[in-house]
Amino acid sequence: MSICPFQEQDAQAVQDLFVLVNRQLAPPSARDAFEAYIARSLTEEMGRITAYYGERGGGFWIARRAGQIVGMFGLERTAQSSGHAMELRRMYVDPSARRGGIASSMLRFAEAESQRAGASRLELSTSELQPAALELYRRAGYRLMREEVAEQASNKTVGGGIRRYYFEKQL
């Protein structure tokens, strides 16, 4: 497996993985909310990855195995940190490639990339719908900063009363 910067020719595969994972995460009672979240995220972020992450002082990477995209993640500077922290975004692994260490490898890469960018802290959030991600971050030394129930939708959260967990790690 290799991790490399996103290229525009990866756009469709990245968008397809984003849609696949989010549709799998959607509880039956929240399918409409997830479809609205997917559409908004494709318009505001995932359909313009290079511009979106460039505007935020970050970047986007993909993980490839045997020529196929099996994972992805983005990094952006946090607004409130004056550049001392990065936020991990959109870390997804293709469901057919899970349990093979891809997420752990991407997380280590993201930490190293954040340090190279001058950040001393990496922040991230995930939801109650992703117990494997919660376990990964805890095992990797991330400290839970807060929990909240997301009522409002954005390109960062579905909203709809889903519990979100916010973590950080000093690098």
DSSP codes of every residue in 1-41: -EEEE--GGGHHHHHHHHHHHHHHH--GGGHHHHHHHHHHH
Question: In angstroms, what is the C-alpha Rg of the chain?
Answer: 15
User: Degrees (nearest 5) of the Cα angle 27, 12, 46?
Assistant: 60
- pLDDT category at 162 given cuts 50, 70, 90 is confident
Is residue 137 included in any domain, yes or no? no
Contact 122, 111 (CB under 8 A): yes
Digit-coded pLDDT (tens) for 71-101: 999 999 987 655 589 999 999 999 999 989 9
Average pLDDT rounded to a whole number, residues 123-147 = 95
Is residue 98 included in any domain, yes or no? yes
Is residue 166 included in any domain, yes or no? no
Contact 30, 158 (CB under 8 A): yes
Give the CATH number, domain containing residue 114: 3.40.630.30
What domain count does the chain have?
Answer: 1
Q: How far is CA 85 from the centre of its chain?
A: 15
Digit-coded pLDDT (tens) for 23-76: 999 999 889 989 999 999 999 999 999 999 999 999 999 999 999 999 999 999
Mean pLDDT of the chain: 92
Is residue 65 included in any domain, yes or no? yes
Q: Which two tokens stand for residue 160?
A: 């709809």
Question: Quick check: 158 pLDDT over 90?
Answer: no
Is residue 133 included in any domain, yes or no? no
Q: How far is CA 57 from CA 79, 89, 115, 125, 147, in A?
A: 10, 13, 13, 19, 26
Which amino acid appears at position 18 of this protein?
F
Average pLDDT rounded to a whole number, residues 15-25 = 96
Instruction: Say how far apart CA 155 and CA 133 lie, in whole Å.
Output: 19
Is residue 43 included in any domain, yes or no? yes
Q: Give the pTM.
A: 0.92
Contacts of 36 (CB under 8 A, 6+ apart): 153
pLDDT at 154: 59
Per the structure, the complete domain to which residue 31 belongs is given by 2-122
Which amino acid appears at position 13 of this protein?
A
